């Protein structure tokens, strides 16, 4: 019994040592969270080696050409054709030029015709979160993309920003919008920005200098599929589309809530990709409220319907709703006159008057 105090003291020292070890391990873990392989290295200037621009054309679908914005001759050495439409695609977190949706989007466009498709590949910088850079990294990325835009605009074989279409997914949508902050009126204004479910994280919608908004291009269209969860809820473009209500997508139910929410967020990309060559089309109609849409009370006139996606008219203004199939082909076409009401029809929501 006389040894118990010494045993107790020994246990205290062991506990303190263990606590110290846990504390040090926790500190190291926290340090690793803020310093990961995704953190951009100094110097922070554009062009940056972790942000690359790959040009794809119909002739170079499998052999992309790297554009060097510091080399005036770089564009001459590629298959760039100024007479073809320009698409600049900016992926989101965990993306890359060879990761979905970039390959599928390129294939869809080249199936349709000739394009200059530039993939902004910053995949090595978003494989995991670098929390101490998350505040300014999107702005830095957009600065580098603006350098690309200016390079093309000022090149003898280039085109003005007005003829460029930027397509951004998740955080890439906001990066596309932030490019506008680095273009002066004399340099021109981006022709179109398509935001594919812009992320809600780090962008609360109260600061238009950070969010994608109508002032960022001549025409801004946004497609919402995970609104209010992983994507932004509020409208942010000239035309906003809430697919299947904008939050939950058919066919996304999973065994875990994370997989379900991730599916809702990423489902926006196959919708847009299908719209490029769809014969049916994603016809969307205006509706006063989400509740009215869900109850099937919306009865737009024929002239009020617009095509969501690639072939959207730049005259479209307002908020639109569209219903899709759970599996490809997702598009349902123009709502027919003789379809039944939302309570009994497979076509819920907007219906033709």
Active-site residues: which are they? 170, 197, 265
Packing angle of the helix pair 257-266, 268-277 (nearest 10 deg): 30
- Residue 17 has φ and ψ, to the nearest 5°, of -65, -40
CB 244, CB 308: distance < 8 Å: no
As given in the structure block, the two tokens for residue 124 are 């090595």
Alpha-carbon gap, residue 112 to 118, rounded angstroms: 17
CB 177, CB 146: distance < 8 Å: no
Alpha-carbon gap, residue 66 to 59, rounded angstroms: 15
Nearest to 230 by CA among 254, 188, 259: 259
3-state secondary structure 107-123: HHHHHHCCCEEEEEECH
Q: What is the largest CA-CA distance in the chain?
A: 94
Residues 6+ apart with CB under 8 A from 114: 57, 58, 81, 84, 85
Secondary structure (DSSP) of 223-244: EESSBTTTB--S--SSEEEEET
3-state secondary structure 65-112: EECCCCCCCHHHHCCCCCCCCEEEEECCCCCCCCCCCHHHHHHHHHHH
């Amino acid at each position: 019994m006389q040894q118990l105090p010494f045993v107790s003291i020994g246990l205290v020292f062991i506990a303190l040592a263990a606590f110290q070890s846990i504390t040090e391990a926790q500190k190291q873990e926290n340090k690793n969270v803020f310093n990961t392989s995704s953190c951009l290295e100094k110097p922070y200037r554009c062009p940056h080696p972790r942000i690359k621009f790959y040009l794809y054309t119909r002739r170079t679908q499998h052999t992309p050409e790297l554009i060097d914005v510091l080399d005036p001759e770089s564009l001459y050495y590629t298959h760039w054709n100024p007479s073809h439409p320009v698409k600049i695609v900016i992926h989101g977190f965990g993306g890359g030029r060879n990761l979905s949706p970039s390959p599928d989007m390129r294939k869809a466009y080249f199936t349709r015709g000739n394009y200059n498709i530039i993939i902004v590949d910053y995949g090595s910088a978003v494989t995991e979160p670098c929390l101490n850079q998350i505040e300014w990294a999107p702005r830095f990325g957009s600065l580098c993309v603006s350098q690309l835009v200016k390079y093309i605009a000022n090149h003898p074989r280039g085109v003005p920003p007005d003829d460029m279409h930027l397509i951004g997914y998740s955080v890439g949508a906001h990066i596309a919008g932030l490019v506008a902050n680095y273009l002066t009126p004399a340099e021109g204004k981006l022709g179109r920005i398509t935001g594919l479910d812009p992320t809600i994280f780090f962008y609360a919608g109260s600061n238009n200098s950070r969010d994608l908004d109508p002032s960022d291009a001549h025409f801004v269209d946004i497609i919402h599929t995970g609104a209010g969860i992983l994507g932004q809820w509020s409208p942010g473009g000239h035309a906003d589309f809430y697919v299947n209500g904008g939050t939950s997508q058919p066919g996304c139910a999973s065994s875990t809530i994370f997989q379900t929410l991730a599916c809702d967020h990423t489902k926006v990309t196959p919708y847009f990709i299908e719209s490029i060559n769809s014969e049916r089309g994603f016809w969307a109609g205006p509706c006063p409220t989400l509740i009215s849409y869900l109850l099937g009370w919306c009865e737009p006139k024929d002239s009020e319907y617009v095509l969501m996606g690639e072939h959207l008219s730049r005259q479209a203004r307002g908020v639109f709703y569209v219903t899709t199939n759970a599996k490809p082909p997702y598009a349902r076409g123009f709502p027919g006159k003789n379809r039944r009401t939302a309570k009994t029809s497979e076509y819920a929501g907007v219906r033709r008057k």
